[in-house]
Structure 1
């Protein structure tokens, strides 16, 4: 199972991530693909930190803290981290430590019952993902649904 099978849709997905970022003011919106050892950027909005094919080591790699997206894939559930700086479980997360991005919301991308990746948002300051019409939570949910339909 791989997002690579929808590689022809990568630019379209990146444009939707850009649209959500512009609509919301969020720093980073990503579609991440899960591999056995890493989370890999499949698509990203325009920002200076994350690029396609960037990879973060999962916690099964020596010296690596659990990644937000890794948790989403492992549990097949959405994850909201309101402020990793104040959360003992997440205060050593790579996105916070390296990039100052301690606010996270992500949902799993499911293909044939398996979580193959995530649609997620990261920010450097507090953010209400339920605010607005449509809310960022709704926009991310719709993109997740559309990617899952592309994979079907």
Structure 2
């Protein structure tokens, strides 16, 4: 069963259904903090790995820290797809791959009402896989719901 911070509790069932439907190990809502990315909601089989409140250090925190997938989404303000990090000079050795064996990533930026970036909605998997346009639309639909919830909070 998905877990989340209070703001996103209404999405918990939807996160689990999406992870199952997409066939991915993890689906996350992440917030961007100064030095790290923070788990705000976690669904799928890896929710015990990505616990609510867990933090991953951004590369800005130190010279030996590999850039996070979600960090790139936040910085670029655009979608990121990584088919297999092990086959990518840019992504090989990232924290999700090394610590959890998750080599596949699809993430979308989440914006606040004022257009600033809140964080990401993303899915991760332990094997290379592509995502159909329908798969991408379902992740984007969750992102859109997250943005609507954020607008009500501001």
TM-score (norm 2): 0.88
Structure 1 segments unaligned to the other structure (5+ residues): 1-6
Shift of 1:10: 2.0
The answer to whether the Cα contact below 8 Å between 1:20 and 1:136 also exists between their aligned partners in 2 is no
* SS of residue paired to 1:88: coil
Task: Tell me which residue corresponds to 1:79.
Answer: 80
* SS of residue paired to 1:72: helix
The answer to whether the Cα contact below 8 Å between 1:29 and 1:44 also exists between their aligned partners in 2 is yes
Q: Which moved more, 1:30-39 or 1:44-53?
A: 44-53
Shift of 1:14: 2.4
* SS of residue paired to 2:61: coil
| TM-align CA RMSD | 1.6
Structure 2 segments unaligned to the other structure (5+ residues): none
The answer to whether the Cα contact below 8 Å between 2:8 and 2:146 also exists between their aligned partners in 1 is no
The aligned runs of 1:113-124 (5 Å cut-off) are: 113-124=115-126
Identify if the C-alpha distance between structure 1 residues 74 and 102 changes in structure 2 by more than 3 Å, giving closer, same or farther. Answer: same
Aligned residues: 144
2:36 equivalent to 1:38 = yes
TM-score (norm 1): 0.89
Shift of 1:128: 2.1
* SS of residue paired to 1:43: strand
* SS of residue paired to 1:60: helix
Task: Tell me which residue corresponds to 1:129.
Answer: 131
Task: Tell me which residue corresponds to 1:16.
Answer: 14
The answer to whether the Cα contact below 8 Å between 1:30 and 1:41 also exists between their aligned partners in 2 is yes
2:150 equivalent to 1:151 = yes
Task: Tell me which residue corresponds to 2:57.
Answer: 57
For residues 89 and 119 of structure 2, the distance between their equivalents in structure 1, rounded to whole angstroms, comes to: 25
